[in-house]
Amino acid sequence: MSDDPDLQSLRSQASELTAPPSLNEIEHLTPHQIQGLMHDLRVHQIELEMQNEELRKTQSVLSASRDKFSQLFDAAPVGYCTLDAKGLILECNHALCQLLGLERIKLLRYPLGQFVEASNLSILHHLLHSDQVTMEQALLFSHPQRTLPLHLLLNLHRISNPLEGSEATWLVALSDISQLQELALQLKIKGRALESTLEGVMITDNQLKICYVNPAFEKTTGYSQAQALGKTPDLLKSGKHTPTFYADMWNRLNQEGCWHGEVWNRRANGEIYPEWLSISTILGDKRQPQYYVGVFSDISREESTRRRLHQLAYFDGITELPNRHLFMDRLNQELAHARRNRGAFALLFMDLDRFKSINDTLGHTVGDELLLQVSRRLARTLRENDTVARMGGDEFLMLLPGVDSQLAAEQVAGKILDLMAQPFDLEGRLYHVSISVGLSRFPDDGLDAETLIKHADIAMYRSKDSGRNTFSSFNLSLNKDIAERVLLENDLREALRHDRLELHYQPQWNFSDGSWFGVEALLRWNHPEQGMIPPDLFIPLAEESGLIVHIGAWVLRRAVQQFLHWGQEGTEVGLISVNLSPHQFLQSNLISLIDEVLGESGMPASRLALEITEHAAMPNFQYSVKTLEALRERGIAIHIDDFGTGFSSLSHLRHLPIDVLKIDRQFIDEIPHNQDDLAIVQSILAMAKALKLSVVAEGVETSEQRDFLHQQGCDIGQGYLFSRPLPSWEIGPLLKQQPTTGD
């Protein structure tokens, strides 16, 4: 308003009018001039009144705006305050009071520096002496006496004062970023973990473009981060998997959000390698896949070990022919195929004549060489789909798919006899070794593997009885023991019904300190007429007839009762092991049966071990894991019996909740002299150590075997060297004595 020329003129004229007028001036003004001057004054007076009204309205608006700002200031979620040049709080809002933990009245004129952690005071000092809008992080306490600080973000803005000579003030905004700091720390820790882990990590977006790989990925695959980013996982494809494999993988991933399994990939250098891969889906805000995280480990060593163990477990170490386990697998496959297609096949059971005399006279080395030469001759008779296997000792089995007549089978047998008629060169000398052959055919001579093998074996012994070096075909006249088998099954039912079965107990010896580790309960049948019947005769019979489930329950109850009886007598038995047959293991009421037996007896679950074979665990793997986990949750130890005879998958084994591996006695019999058995035992011990499992060696009969196993790190021994299986009344006194090992 001071620059308005009309107002300046008015002021000038008013000043002149208010000055004491001289007579000359008054005299010179005409009435008309005086009237005009009065009119101008009136006009300007009205203008001033209008401007004053506008000022009053503006002041009202400003006052309302100030009130609104004050309300916003106080209600803001961010802590605000104004400071003077000394850092004293002049004004503050409610959020700041909440952050600092004091009422507003106590904060006014309170130094903000009193809340700042000592090492951060320089930050506040710097902010108060800066003319710029600045933002810093600092540690503030929510109360001067509090020991745990908050992470706050300080934002200072200098406010200039329009009054000359007045000190400037600062507007301070304080935001609590403690949670952000904690999240940042957690992200840093997880990031460091990703960078440090030995497992490879790859993250892709939802378009499968690789957006992150860690150093382990680079080391394992040979691809650098720069080479991988922006590419797809197809970069690693080996070509070994079918489109169906990947389709199944994506179906599972889309349905369940995760997938894991064994995958063969290709390194940057072209090498194909196996890895264990787990993929997880990360969903976005709309519950749609946003990222995929793959975590993998190179299992090349495990795969190499698996192949080696597979070779050792399924192929004979001397002849490199399939062994019993592989042969039985192929025989069962052929049975299934023949049943579906109404087909036929033949089975040949072969046994070398007088092999034992050669082996005993010339030694095992020459005996092994003879077996190798025999296997090569037998292999020369094979068609593409035929199989010949060494079953052990000097016994061989041959499977002839599609051979549907006795004549065709006998022609093959005749060819074998002709080949064997040629002498064998053993250490520069020629030896004549003949062979006896027995034949059985599906479906005429049996409908299952055991029957066919048994009937071929019976026919082979007919050849032996006929003078050896010949073949015989099975016929019903050879099968008088079938009736005996039926009678034996009936007797077994009676023995179970009238409690005529019994348990013997074989102690287990602790290699580390020479103490008794525990006992294994072993089923025995003392037939009233035939005497002791071997378990390998009546247990398969019980399996086939279904009696094994009832027998297994009887064994469990009797073993627990005996364990408690020993305790009452003062006999310390660390652990008692009970075998579960595959049929019993798959029973849906297994857990309830064990709970019932333990509950009724009061025996601690931690003193019970259950033994299952690999064959029992592998067919329904998920069920096995669930059942074994339930048993271990109760404190029961899980032992894998006959380990090495039915090896399936290392990747499966490491996921089984087990405690102990029991090496089958067939691998112990000839150590440390048999290099194949020695390699198997060493591999099992190394694998068990890696998986943090204990190992029991079965069939330890010599001090040489004991010493070798002890040196190799085996934990527990079991066998005739320590004690044969004994009835309960004999095992009790033995366990009270210091163990002896035949030395």
CATH for 461 = 3.30.70.270
In this structure, the answer to whether residues 54 and 94 fall within a common structural domain is no
Query: Which of residues 35, 69, 103 is at a domain's end?
Result: 69
**pLDDT of residue 486 exceeding 80:** no
The region of weakest confidence among 31-45, 236-250, 502-516 is 31-45
Query: What are the residues facing 502 on neighbouring strands?
Result: 524
**pLDDT of residue 697 exceeding 80:** yes
Mean per-residue pLDDT, 538-566: 89
In this structure, the answer to whether residues 286 and 327 fall within a common structural domain is no
Is the Cβ–Cβ distance between 127 and 152 less than 8 Å?
A: no
**Distance separating the N- and C-terminal Cα atoms of the chain:** 123
Domain that holds residue 615: 545-735
At 596-610, the pLDDT tens digits run 999 999 999 999 999
In this structure, the answer to whether residues 163 and 254 fall within a common structural domain is no
In this structure, the answer to whether residues 204 and 227 fall within a common structural domain is yes
Whether 496 maps to a domain, the answer reads no
Q: How far is the C-alpha of 568 from the C-alpha of 570, rounded, in Å?
A: 5
List CB contacts of 633: < 8 A, sequence separation 6 or more: none
Whether 501 maps to a domain, the answer reads no
Determine the pLDDT at residue 148: 56
Whether 462 maps to a domain, the answer reads yes
Helices first, then strands: H and E counts in the chain: 27, 27
In this structure, the answer to whether residues 173 and 125 fall within a common structural domain is yes
In this structure, the answer to whether residues 586 and 633 fall within a common structural domain is yes
Query: Which of residues 182, 213, 234 is at a domain's end?
Result: 182
Q: What is the CATH number of the domain that holds 174?
A: 3.30.450.20
Mean per-residue pLDDT, 264-289: 91
At 710-733, the pLDDT tens digits run 999 999 999 999 999 999 999 888
> Phi and psi (nearest 5°) for 438?
-120, 140
CA angle in degrees (0–180, nearest 5) for 682-683-687: 120
Mean pLDDT computed over every residue of the chain: 85
Mean per-residue pLDDT, 136-142: 60
Q: At 684, list the tokens.
A: 């099992």
Q: How far is the C-alpha of 90 from the C-alpha of 80, rounded, in Å?
A: 11
Whether 505 maps to a domain, the answer reads no
Strand boundaries in 149-271, DSSP class E: 150-159, 169-176, 200-205, 210-213, 258-266
CA angle in degrees (0–180, nearest 5) for 332-334-337: 110
Determine the pLDDT at residue 604: 95
In this structure, the answer to whether residues 719 and 571 fall within a common structural domain is yes
Is the Cβ–Cβ distance between 149 and 141 less than 8 Å?
A: yes
Whether 289 maps to a domain, the answer reads yes
Whether 494 maps to a domain, the answer reads no
> Using CB atoms within 10 A of its CB, is residue 92 exposed (0-12), middle (13-18) or buried (19+)?
buried
**pLDDT of residue 523 exceeding 80:** yes
Taking alpha carbons only, the member of 189, 127, 177, 111 closest to residue 149 is: 177
Report whether the peptide linkage leading into residue 582 is cis, meaning its omega lies within 30 degrees of zero. no
In this structure, the answer to whether residues 220 and 294 fall within a common structural domain is yes
Strand boundaries in 321-456, DSSP class E: 345-352, 387-392, 395-401, 424-426, 429-431, 435-442
**pLDDT of residue 217 exceeding 90:** yes
**pLDDT of residue 742 exceeding 60:** no
Determine what percent of the chain is predicted with pLDDT higher than 90.
43
Q: What is the CATH number of the domain that holds 613?
A: 3.20.20.450
Determine what percent of the chain is predicted with pLDDT higher than 70.
87
At 222-255, the pLDDT tens digits run 999 999 999 999 999 999 999 999 999 999 999 9
Query: Which of residues 150, 182, 214 is at a domain's end?
Result: 182
At 384-403, the pLDDT tens digits run 899 999 998 899 999 999 99
Whether 570 maps to a domain, the answer reads yes
In this structure, the answer to whether residues 64 and 85 fall within a common structural domain is no
Determine the pLDDT at residue 12: 63
Q: How far is the C-alpha of 204 from the C-alpha of 202, rounded, in Å?
A: 7
Is the Cβ–Cβ distance between 84 and 169 less than 8 Å?
A: yes
pTM score over 0.95: no
The total of structural domains in the chain comes to 5
Rounding to the nearest 10 degrees, give the CA dihedral for residues 544, 548, 550, 554.
Answer: 160
DSSP notation for 267-281: -TTS-EEEEEEEEEE
**pLDDT of residue 45 exceeding 70:** yes
Q: At 458, list the tokens.
A: 């019976």
Mean per-residue pLDDT, 662-691: 89
Is the Cβ–Cβ distance between 697 and 708 less than 8 Å?
A: no
Looking from the CA of 252 toward its CB, the CA atoms found within 13 Å total: 13
**pLDDT of residue 576 exceeding 50:** yes
Determine the pLDDT at residue 137: 60
In this structure, the answer to whether residues 100 and 243 fall within a common structural domain is no
Q: How far is the C-alpha of 228 from the C-alpha of 208, rounded, in Å?
A: 12
Q: How far is the C-alpha of 569 from the C-alpha of 581, rounded, in Å?
A: 31
Determine the pLDDT at residue 241: 93
Say which amino acid occupies 18. T
Determine the pLDDT at residue 189: 85
In this structure, the answer to whether residues 173 and 149 fall within a common structural domain is yes
In this structure, the answer to whether residues 666 and 716 fall within a common structural domain is yes
Whether 517 maps to a domain, the answer reads no
Count CB neighbours of 315 within 10 A. 18
H-helix segments, 200-344: 215-221, 225-228, 243-256, 300-314, 324-341
